[in-house]
Structure 1
Amino acid sequence: MLALNKSKGMYQKSKKLIISSIMIVIVSILIAAYTNKYTEYNIPIISFNLDSLSKTFLATFPLAKLAYSSNFKLTSSIQYTPKDRTKDAIYRKYIKDLSNYSKTGEDNYFKGKARFAVFDGVGGYIHQGYDCSIISSKFAKYLGEFNNGESCRLNDALTYAYKQVLSDPEVKAGATTATVCQINEQTGLMDVINLGDSWLGVLRGDKIVFETVKQEYYFNAPYQLAKVPGNNRGSISNTPNDAVESEFQLNKGDLVILSTDGMVDNWGNRKIEEWWSAKLATSEDLDSLNKKFVDEVTACSKDQKFMSSFVREYNMLTNSSYVGGKEDDITVLVVKVE
């Protein structure tokens, strides 16, 4: 009983200290705003960015992290299905052994403790004899090793990977899209950087409450990080500074979904929402669910009677009436937040 009373007393003291610290920070900001910036009788409107205030508070009072932390647990799963290239004449021409080709096709991924990414090599380079599974795999490697996988600015990580790829002699030429996220396991704040038409979405309950927006120059021509061959300076070539960076506050129970365009070119948001919200209500493990998900999307991509997102968009742009799935490499990395 004595130990319990002491614990309660320590909790109350810690609670009072944290509340007092927050009040001191807010009052200090208000005083500074009124006394240093304003004269006469102008009444300022002061707005607070809660994420920024939280970061400032935690940096000022490190011990408060113990009380502030929600201790988020991240469980991740990667599943993929490469497109069948064995019957494609252009691949047979330039790839010596297609039976031993990259297991993820031209897609690649990085799955760390709290940093996750998908990369989609641009298939058009094969017409010049360049295999884009190489550049996407190198981006995954270099992005993962930056800062030993520890928390960092994602633009710094992507820029490091980009510079390493440009100087890597194994990468002759090629291009890839990039979608990367990093999750703070104490606060649940997720940083995202996206370039091109791969995708990240957050499922909360039965709704996607956050998603990246694809970057394209025109239909099916995404922004891309490229190592352009010397004889083709007109190719699309972007840098990490062209990527869109964003933040999103995750809640326990959220599902973060990263995928290359092979998935979202077939399934739209509503179908993704319905599938995952129903399956997550079961007791099945995340790997099994993700495999079933990728298998079902893959089946749709090969179904000539299925109305894919890609074909629907093409029909709208061209006033056509085609039907069919879109075959492609499909890579899906999901992260369950608990």
Structure 2
Amino acid sequence: MAVSCSSPSSELNPVIKSDVSFSVGTYLIPHPKKVDKGGEDAFFVSNYNGGVVAVADGVSGWAEEDVDPSLFPRELMTNASNFVGDEEVNYDPQILIRKAHAATSSTGSATVIVAMLEKNGILKIANVGDCGLRVIRNGNVILSTSPQEHYFDCPFQLSSERVGQTYLDAAVSNVELIEGDTIVVGSDGLFDNVFDHEIVSTIVGHRNVAEAAKALANLASNHALDSNFDSPYSLEARSRGFEPPLWKKILGMKLTGGKLDDITVIVGEVSGSCLKYKPLRNDAV
């Protein structure tokens, strides 16, 4: 899908700030054992206002209850997409999460992040759980969301059950973006396997947002499959006191390796024109 439109130019009068929006690329790689059903992540991209991006990561534990973990996040993202322009939402990602959650009837649960860009450059973010977002400016990460968790590997999550988090538990933040900034949004399959400095170098090395999203997803996938890679996930596990399997311990080896998971990556570059969407993988929820 490509959307074309015109926007005010500031070339003749640099004092006038033109409207900003996203050029967006996406890529999704399912867990190796979940390829047949497309994984349990879901996402959507909208060109409403300056642009809206969102990711939901289904909680795989529901499979033990004979529930498809992909249904809840997919319905949640479909509902969020439908409510983007709702008057009650009023461009507030926390309210968008509330309405989408209330309208979701599937059994299950999911972590979720929503980022909404106003045309004045203000990016509004609401996050429940361990999906994440980075803002990159001039080769540096200037904003990084923090995961919310009950304990290691147990993130906050929206749920179909009464026990669980709600939109009120979302971590909310705002940041003013300028033309040339890049945002990277993804499920924990990205951030558990790729360090921030790798994200920055990948973004710097790919001017095309679709290719950047693909490169980041492939990097995360390669790290996840590498039992010797000292990933962000293994570093965090060691810091929490987790130890390697006994055979590794006997050999004096430390706990290493990536984390196999669904990997969703959205890369958005801030520009002065309307959103142009360049999907490389399934973009429908």
Range into which the TM-score falls when normalised by the shorter chain = 0.7 to 0.9
Q: CA deviation at 1:288?
A: 2.1
Deviations, residues 124-146 of structure 1 (Å, cap 9, x unaligned): 11111111110000110011111
1:241-320 equivalent positions in 2, closer than 5 A? 241-280=168-207, 285-318=208-241, 320=243
Letter in 2 for 1:181: A
Deviations, residues 17-67 of structure 1 (Å, cap 9, x unaligned): xxxxxxxxxxxxxxxxxxxxxxxxxxxxxxxxxxxxxxxxxxxxxxxxxx8
Larger relative contact order (Cα-Cα within 8 Å, sequence gap ≥ 6): 2
Letter in 2 for 1:278: G
| 1:152 and 2:100 matched | no
Count matched residues: 243
Kindly indicate whether the alpha-carbon contact (under 8 Å) linking 2:202 and 2:215 is maintained by their aligned counterparts in 1: no
1:176-187 equivalent positions in 2, closer than 5 A? 176-185=110-119, 187=120
1:9 aligns to what?
none
Kindly indicate whether the alpha-carbon contact (under 8 Å) linking 2:199 and 2:216 is maintained by their aligned counterparts in 1: no
Distance verdict in 2 for CA 1:330–1:147, change over 3 Å: closer
Alignment equivalent of 1:138, drawn from 56, 75, 93? 75
Once superposed, what is the RMSD of the aligned Cα atoms? 1.9
Distance across 2 between alignment mates of 1:137 and 1:69: 37
Kindly indicate whether the alpha-carbon contact (under 8 Å) linking 1:266 and 1:308 is maintained by their aligned counterparts in 2: yes
Alignment equivalent of 1:112, drawn from 46, 62, 69? 46
What TM-score do you get using the length of structure 2 for normalisation? 0.80
2:251 aligns to what?
none
Q: CA deviation at 1:308?
A: 1.1
Deviations, residues 303-322 of structure 1 (Å, cap 9, x unaligned): 11111111111111116321
1:199 aligns to what?
132
Distance verdict in 2 for CA 1:216–1:303, change over 3 Å: same
Q: CA deviation at 1:149?
A: 6.7
What TM-score do you get using the length of structure 1 for normalisation? 0.68
Structure 2 unmatched ranges of 5 or more: 1-12, 244-253, 272-285
Q: CA deviation at 1:69?
A: 3.9
Instruction: Give the 3-state SS of the residue equivalent to 1:109 in structure 2.
Output: strand
Letter in 2 for 1:179: I
1:49 aligns to what?
none
| 1:217 and 2:150 matched | yes
Structure (1 or 2) with the greater strand fraction? 2
Distance across 1 between alignment mates of 2:18 and 2:187: 31
2:256 aligns to what?
323
Kindly indicate whether the alpha-carbon contact (under 8 Å) linking 2:224 and 2:259 is maintained by their aligned counterparts in 1: yes
Kindly indicate whether the alpha-carbon contact (under 8 Å) linking 1:179 and 1:198 is maintained by their aligned counterparts in 2: yes
Kindly indicate whether the alpha-carbon contact (under 8 Å) linking 2:56 and 2:77 is maintained by their aligned counterparts in 1: yes
Instruction: Give the 3-state SS of the residue equivalent to 2:31 in structure 1.
Output: coil
Identity of aligned residues (%): 26
Q: CA deviation at 1:148?
A: 3.4
Deviations, residues 180-216 of structure 1 (Å, cap 9, x unaligned): 010012x111111011001011011111100111100
Alignment equivalent of 2:66, drawn from 129, 146, 153? 129
Alignment equivalent of 1:72, drawn from 20, 42, 54? 20
Distance across 1 between alignment mates of 2:40 and 2:21: 31
Instruction: Give the 3-state SS of the residue equivalent to 2:43 in structure 1.
Output: strand
Instruction: Give the 3-state SS of the residue equivalent to 2:260 in structure 1.
Output: coil
Letter in 2 for 1:239: T
Instruction: Give the 3-state SS of the residue equivalent to 1:200 in structure 2.
Output: strand
Kindly indicate whether the alpha-carbon contact (under 8 Å) linking 2:73 and 2:109 is maintained by their aligned counterparts in 1: yes
Kindly indicate whether the alpha-carbon contact (under 8 Å) linking 1:115 and 1:149 is maintained by their aligned counterparts in 2: no
Instruction: Give the 3-state SS of the residue equivalent to 1:148 in structure 2.
Output: coil
Distance across 1 between alignment mates of 2:170 and 2:209: 30
Deviations, residues 85-116 of structure 1 (Å, cap 9, x unaligned): 26xxxxxxxxxxx73x1x2x110001001111
Structure (1 or 2) with the greater helix fraction? 1
Distance across 2 between alignment mates of 1:119 and 1:68: 37
Runs of 4+ in 1 over 6 A off after TM superposition: none
Instruction: Give the 3-state SS of the residue equivalent to 2:147 in structure 1.
Output: coil
